Amino acid sequence: MAFFSKLKERLFKSSSKLDEGLEAIVEDGGEPETPPRPEPEPETPTPPRPEPEPPVIPSQPNETPPPTPVEQPIERPQEVPQPPPEAIATPAPMEIPDDLPAAAPRAGFLGRLLGRGEERVITRRALDDDMLESLEELLITADMGVETAMRVTANMAEGRMGKRLSAREIKESLAHEITRIMEPVARPMPIYAKRPQVVLVVGVNGSGKTTTIGKLASQFKAAGKSVVIAAGDTFRAAAVEQLQIWGERAGVPVLTAPEGSDPASLAYDAMTKAEADGADLLMIDTAGRLQNRADLMEELSKIVRVIRKKDPDAPHNTLLVLDATTGQNALSQVEIFQKLADVSGLVMTKLDGTARGGVLVALADKFGLPIHAIGVGEQIDDLAPFDPEEFAAALTGLDVQ
Ligand SMILES: Nc1nc2c(ncn2[C@@H]2O[C@H](COP(=O)(O)OP(=O)(O)OP(=O)(O)O)[C@@H](O)[C@H]2O)c(=O)[nH]1
Ligand SMILES: [Mg+2]
């Protein structure tokens, strides 16, 4: 299945919430209009697209300095396997001229044929303060957060106040604003020439760390990288077993240690093995006990101290895994983990089955940390690089044309 379709289907709860909400806002106070029939052929050439305006979103400074890579990062669209070319759907154009009826029948022979005998009625509502307020509330219910929702609606309103808009036009401009916020943070995990590149994976209990490591390991393996996994969550025996199952699925060795043993010494052994094997990547799973923050902090910093004995620049990536179903809570998790570890990027899991997908927009807006990937299910291939246009279209319920 094309990833966009999968994303859209799985983001159903978020998108249907926005979709239905937007329709209701336009219906409430809007008036039905029948668009004028287009002129018959010849087709008019499409006017050149206006240059995109420079972003007007005041960007938040990124508080964490970017990690200093030892070697030049290799931008690697090829590292995380992309969906096959035929699976990449082109998102709908994000900007449409204000005066064009959004769903006007297509001009030309086919358009006349399809449009014959039926007048399509579109409801439009003039954009005013009341409507903006309703839009803002709707975005807040989708977990976009108050500040981000305000910013998105304010940007969307620019130059459109008083204009009569259809639900589709609003979706398109919302998707455009969301894409603009998310584009700067949509970056795949950088791959360094360093061997082994150490990836420390952190996050609260149940956020999806172990599952994400399994999925990533499988994707890196498929991309030709050799990977070693360290089961650094020695707190629960079940965690080790779970990781072993993922290791088998991905065809990647998993280093384990007895329950209750020191995760730092396991990480050290794993570093030794990864070096001896000439592995490209070492992924270290960790326990996510936030109940005792001091313990967790000590545990994480000990892992870092120990692996730095082998490589002073390790870990090269610290991925924070966040669960989308926790909504706004994800924001405070980022704040906490930025204090506990030098977070270099985010992975957002469980975007399937939640109506809180908007939190990803709030995260991008507030922290500006790279979003490497998103999880939309429990299967090995349910993790994809983050694509802002696809995400914005799926979130707003916009159909790809
Ligand atoms: N629906 C869905 N479920 C997911 C996703 N990612 C992980 N899960 C599920 O979430 C649950 C917790 O995932 P784990 O990978 O065990 O989470 P963890 O962070 O390692 O948890 P702890 O080891 O307890 O800290 C499991 O049942 C996973 O199958 C996702 O993208 N979508
Ligand atoms: Mg785990």
Q: How far apart are CA 219 and CA 383, in angstroms?
A: 9
Q: How far apart are CA 364 and CA 185, in angstroms?
A: 6
E-assigned strand segments in 107-208: 122-126, 164-166, 197-202
pLDDT of residue 397: 85
- In sequence order, what are the residues at sequence separation of 6 or more whose Cβ sits closer than 8 angstroms to the Cβ of residue 174? 18, 22, 135, 139, 152, 156, 392, 396
For residue 397, count other CB atoms closer than 10 A to its CB: 24
Task: Work out which ligand 1 atom sits closest to the CA atom of 214.
Answer: 15
- Token pair of 337, please? 């983990």
224: left (phi over 0), alpha (psi -120 to 50) or beta: left
Closest CA to 319 of 196, 173, 197: 197
Give residue 192's Cα distance to chain centre.
22
E-assigned strand segments in 13-129: 31-33, 122-126
- Token pair of 111, please? 């358009």
Closest CA to 269 of 234, 294, 298: 234
Q: C-alpha angle 288/290/293, rounded to 5°?
A: 120
Task: Work out which ligand 1 atom sits closest to the CA atom of 242.
Answer: 16
Write down the residue that tokens 């106070």 correspond to: 29
Q: Which amino acid is at 216?
A: L
Asked whether 349 and 382 are in contact (CB, 8 A), the reply is no
State the CATH architecture for 197-386: 3-Layer(aba) Sandwich (3.40)
Q: Which helix H or strand E contains 399, and what residues bound it?
A: none
Residue nearest to atom 1 of ligand 1 (CA): 377
Domain 2-28+123-185 sits in CATH 2.40.30.260 = no
pLDDT of residue 85: 41
Q: What is the largest CA-CA distance in the chain?
A: 77
Domain with CATH 3.40.50.300 in the chain: 197-386
For residue 103, count other CB atoms closer than 10 A to its CB: 14
DSSP tag of 86: G
| pLDDT mean for each 10 residues of the chain (401 residues) | 66 73 86 66 53 42 42 40 40 35 40 46 91 95 94 94 94 95 96 94 94 95 95 84 92 90 93 95 89 80 94 96 94 92 96 88 97 94 93 84 48
Q: How far apart are CA 174 and CA 395, in angstroms?
A: 10
Ligand 2 center–CA 208 separation, angstroms: 7
Q: How far apart are CA 171 and CA 394, in angstroms?
A: 10
- Token pair of 99, please? 């005066």
Domain with CATH 1.20.120.140 in the chain: 2-28+123-185
Ligand 1 center–CA 211 separation, angstroms: 6
Where helices occur in 251-351 by DSSP H, the ranges are 263-277, 293-310, 329-340
Ligand 2 center–CA 206 separation, angstroms: 7
Q: Is 358 exposed, middle or buried (0-12, 13-18, 19+ CB in 10 A)?
A: buried
pLDDT of residue 35: 63
Question: φ, ψ for residue 332 (rounded to 5)?
Answer: -75, -30
Residue ranges around ligand 1 (CB below 6 Å): 203, 205-211, 233, 239, 288, 349-350, 352-353, 375-378, 382
pLDDT of residue 105: 39
Ligand 2 center–CA 213 separation, angstroms: 9
Q: Ligand 2 being an ion, which residues bring their Cβ within 5 A of it?
A: 209-210, 239
pLDDT of residue 64: 42
DSSP tag of 357: T
Q: Which helix H or strand E contains 372, and what residues bound it?
A: strand 371-375
